[in-house]
Structure 1
Amino acid sequence: MIIWLASYPKSGNTLLRSILATYFFSNDGIFNFNHLYKIGQFPSLKHFNNLGIDTSNVDEIYSNIIKAQEIINKESKTLKFFKTHSALAKINNNFFTDIKNTLGAIYIVRDPRNVVTSFANHYQIDVDEATKCLINEKFWNYKNDKVPKTFLSSWSQNYNSWKQLNNKRFLIKYEDLIANKKKVLIKLFKFFESLGPKFDLNMIKLNKTIKSTEFEKMKDLEKKEDFHESILNKKTGEKIPFFNMGPKNNWRLTLDKKNKKIIENHFKNEMEELGYL
């Protein structure tokens, strides 16, 4: 069964993946990128290559999205984590997932005023364009050679869509994860137990994991090693650092008044609900 690590892009999903991958897949609680890669992304083209479909056709991919998950779950009965940025929505008349393939979900959310500047930097667009993406309820994320087009919807609709799982969804605010990792993670492990699987929480390993996944340490590691998920600068061909500003990203210093107002007006209800306003 699958536990989804769901979020809008640039909301802290990679940090959460890093923590969970290091805890579950390392022997010593010390982060490296090879552990991170053990939590893959869905949808990815590799999940559809053996289905005999045209993976360049978005309709065919989403017509087979449940089938791809069924195959993943049949191949291994063990618990699986998958990162996704997809909204939990009906896509081309097909639901993104169902209760037969989903054990639960962790949804990580971040103040959209910080998301928008990070989104702009990562996708090499200006903040005006990034804001249009965040408020577009029909927005599909960009495809690449590994990941097909993914239906995100708007920042608010993406967040709200995952509420459908009710008590099978665990919400993490990025800001809380940064401020108090241990407290958030202990609550997360209790959530895991509520889903059925039993976890013997190893506090020594968890403490090592927390320390080794500090943002600056991962940023330094990216400078020394190749991180497969970073993208190339369209003009220079050089890799854009994936770990850019992280917790230091402060919308008060980087976001212009026009886009700030647009975001706050469009997402007023959700931002008040989450304590961002």
Structure 2
Amino acid sequence: MFIWLASYPKSGNTLVRALLSSYFFSNDGIFNFEIIKNIKQFPNSELFENIGVDLSNDNDVIKNYIKAQASINKKSSIQFLKTHSYLFNINKNPFTDLNNTLGAIYIVRDPRNVVTSYAHHDTITIDESLKRMINNIQIGGNLNSNNTSDRTKVYLGSWGSNFKSWKSFEKIGKYLLIKYEDLINNKEETFKKILIFIHDLKKIKFEINQSKFENVLKTTSFNNMKNLEKEEGFIESKTNKNTGEKIPFFNLGAENNWERKLDPKIVNKIEKFYETEMKELGYL
């Protein structure tokens, strides 16, 4: 069954996947970009093509979400799926179910930092980035893309609806909230918290592999991943529409500080629109 790694874009999902893939899918805990491929994105066009779904028919794709998950569900092994989708129910078609889902880890980041990171990632203005964050939008759906993750539509929702939707797993004790800021400022304890949660879901005794754990922490540092991207490239980085050049995926990390970089008018809009959620998360 799957443990979902859910988040709004540019919130730390890649770092969590790097930590988990290095720990569970390597012998030594040393991170590389090949290892992260063990954690697939959902929805992903390959899954639907494998079960004969027409990707050009959005309704047909949504109707087959559960079937696509069931087709790769291995009940006994630890499996993770990354998603930026909100946890929806469209026309009575659910995003997932408890036959396929073991639990959910939701990664959240201060929206005042998401807005700048998202703008950089997609080569858009801060205003456009904010517009996306406060509206229920879809991304992907480019059937001509070489990247299988971009060929199916992802229903993001807004920043707030994305966050709130996944909290439904909290009611049944299958939810862990992880803040990006804790991953950066207290990585060791936060990663240990994630591992304990996974072991609890699997109902297996938590015993840490200390040498592997230390290697994971060391090799998933922001600087190490940034250097790896420079040397090898990273499949999830996008291309600048104007210049044709690759946009660095690992750009500023913790240096992306809204207090230094964000127009006070944008700050005010975000804080006003998401006051309730930000207070709940301790961002206000």
Aligned counterparts of 1:197 and 1:33: Cα–Cα separation in 2: 30
Following the alignment from structure 2 to structure 1, what is the Cα–Cα distance between the partners of residues 91 and 14?
Answer: 28
Structure 1 Cα separation of the partners of residues 141 and 123 of structure 2 = 14
Partner of 2:102: 103
Match of 1:152 in 2: 156
Q: Deviations over 1:18-73 (max 9, x none)?
A: 01111111111111000011111000001100222211222111010011011111
Q: Deviation of residue 77 (structure 1)?
A: 4.1
Residue 174 of structure 1 is matched in structure 2 by: 180
Structure 1 residue 197: Cα displacement: 4.2
**Counterpart in the other structure of 2:79:** 80
Task: Find the aligned partners of 1:195 and 1:205 in 2 and give their Cα distance.
Answer: 21
How many Å separate the matches in 2 of 1:101 and 1:185? 24
User: Which residue of structure 1 lines up, in the alignment, with residue 60 of structure 2?
Assistant: 60
Preserved CA contact (<8 Å) 1:62 1:92: no
Going from structure 1 to structure 2, the CA distance change for 1:273 and 1:232 (only over 3 Å counts) comes to: same
State the TM-score, normalizing by the size of structure 1.
0.96
State the TM-score, normalized to the length of structure 2: 0.94
The separation in 2 between residues aligned to 1:128 and 1:169, in whole angstroms, is 32
Partner of 2:138: 140
Matches within 5 A, 1:25-44: 25-44=25-44
**Contact residue 140 and residue 154 of structure 2 kept, 8 A:** yes
**Of residues 221, 244, 260 in structure 1, which corresponds to 2:267?**
260
Question: 1:227 Cα deviation (Å)?
Answer: 1.1
Deviation at 1:189, TM superposition (A): 1.7
Farther off after superposition, 195-204 or 179-188: 195-204
- Once the two structures are TM-superposed, the CA of residue 111 in structure 1 deviates from its matched residue by 0.0
Aligned length: 275
Q: How far apart are the structure 1 equivalents of 2:263 and 2:91?
A: 36
Percent identical pairs in the alignment equals 54
**Partner AA of 1:114 in structure 2:** N
2:19–2:191 Cα contact (<8 Å) kept: no
User: Shift of the alpha carbon at 1:260?
Assistant: 1.1
Partner of 1:247, secondary structure, is: helix
Q: Which residue of 1 aligns with 2:200?
A: 194
- Structure 2: stretches of 5+ with no match in the other structure: none
The residue identity in structure 1 corresponding to 2:159 is: W
Look up the equivalent residue of 1:248 and give its one-letter code: E
Query: Which amino acid in the other structure matches residue 168 of structure 1?
Result: K
- Asked if the contact 1:91–1:151 (Cα under 8 Å) also holds between the matched residues in 2, the reply is no
CA positional deviation for 1:226 = 2.2
Aligned to 2:10: 10
